[in-house]
Amino acid sequence: MAQPLRLGIAGLGTVGAGVVRIVQKHADLLQVRSGRAISISAVSARSRDKDRGVDLSGYAWEDDPVALARRDDVDLFIEVMGGHNGPAKDATEAAIAAGKDVVSANKALLAVHGQAIAEAAEAAGRVIRFEAAVAGGIPVVKALTEGLAGNDITRIMGVMNGSCNYILTRMESAGLTYQEVFDEANALGYLEADPELDVGGVDAGHKLALLASIAFGTQVDFDAVQLEGIGSVSIDDIRHAADMGFKIKLLGVAQMTGRGLEQRMSPCLVPDTSPLGQLQGGTNMVVLEGDSVGQIVLRGAGAGEGPTASAVMGDVMDIARGIRISTFGQPATSLRRARAAVAAVPAPYYLRMTLLDKPGALAKVARALGDAGISIDRMRQYDHADAVAPVLIVTHKTTRTALDEALTAFKDTGVVFGDPIAIRIEAV
């Protein structure tokens, strides 16, 4: 029997406590499946006195996660503290320098510093695994690095933030405004301490950047991800989209184009009959497309103690079994810098605007679109009782550059009241 694999866990919040619970509950099962005992040597967190619902009395305690990472009785360092700098980064680097493998749930750290951390780990002969950092319990990192390793990945897309999906589906089902559901979600504890990480698309953008690196063999470049949150989506947009057979989702899309790597996290319309269109509540879904496999859909819990701790333990088990894979699926030094492409692939768009109710208003808008090379697929005007009229337009496929040209031209028409809303319609 191989020597036990001894864990050091930095961070005892929801995920860290969940990992402890799994190790304690399934010790015999983990040993049978991995071929060696898996035990916890030491832990670290900000407070010793907090009741976490698990027995920590049998483990050494380190106030400093860096000291935990350097302990001689720790073989594998588990970082579930969070944060892209500070103790999480320092402790991860210390673990690598001390010859430890690392399992992390820290999407922000890897999205910002992933290239440097991967190079350091691989130079030291160490492994960094991060299944829990992306889409909770869904094994999408393993799918890309292992199951689909023989494919040329053509596109990744998905709903990767359950809080945003909860807000959008709750708005639709209850007929509530964005602010009403935002306040509800915040009161229920569904949002980060800084809610903008969720509703602004930052959290999901970190995840998309990591998946794009694996899928396209590129260096992680979170700064190149185009971010647009859901704050501008109104209940009217949701209702109008439904009238036309669509649902609105905060959708991450990454694809390699002739102009470079397109990475965007933004509200999109998807067909209501598609798997993404039918996704409800806080569930996550990732769609992967490869040249050999075609399209596969992965769906599951994107957060929470059990699903995320499950993902951590999946990585722990791989390391216990001796499975050693480069951080992003190929040697970090072979990852290339990708040129960033801004919405390079043409698509149809949904436009909502308010027009002054006077003769020729629609004609002026149509002319501005035509001058930008954009043709109209569908147009709908809703009943109104005042001097302005709500109008919806669905365009044929166009580029974002052409659309921005038309939106700028709308300001000179003298008939568009306020700022139009433009949402991309994604083919699924």
Tell me the three state secondary structure of residue 20. Answer: helix
Residue type, 287: V
Residue 17 C-alpha from the chain's centroid: 23
Per-residue DSSP letter, 73:
T
Q: How far apart are CA 231 and CA 200, in angstroms?
A: 7
**Do the beta carbons of residue 301 and residue 165 sit within 8 Å?**
no
DSSP per-residue letters across 199-252: HTSHHHHHHHHHHHHHHHTB---GGGSEE--STT--HHHHHHHHHTTEEEEEEE
DSSP per-residue letters across 44-63: E-S-SS---SS--TTSEE-S
> Residue 415 burial by CB count (10 A; 0-12/13-18/19+): exposed, middle or buried?
buried
Residue type, 125: G
DSSP per-residue letters across 370-390: HHTT--EEEEEE---SSSEEE
Q: Which two tokens stand for residue 425?
A: 């319609």
Q: How far is CA 360 from CA 61, 367, 405, in A?
A: 74, 10, 21
**Do the beta carbons of residue 320 and residue 38 sit within 8 Å?**
yes
Tell me the three state secondary structure of residue 184. Answer: helix
Beta bridge partners, 269, equal 248, 425
Side-by-side strand order, sheet with 128-129: 60-61, 38-44, 5-10, 76-79, 101-104, 128-129
Specify whether 397 is catalytic.
Answer: no
Residue type, 188: L
**Do the beta carbons of residue 343 and residue 399 sit within 8 Å?**
yes
DSSP per-residue letters across 143-164: IIIIITTTS-EEEEEEE--HHH
Catalytic one among 89, 207, 247, 249? 207
List active site positions.
207
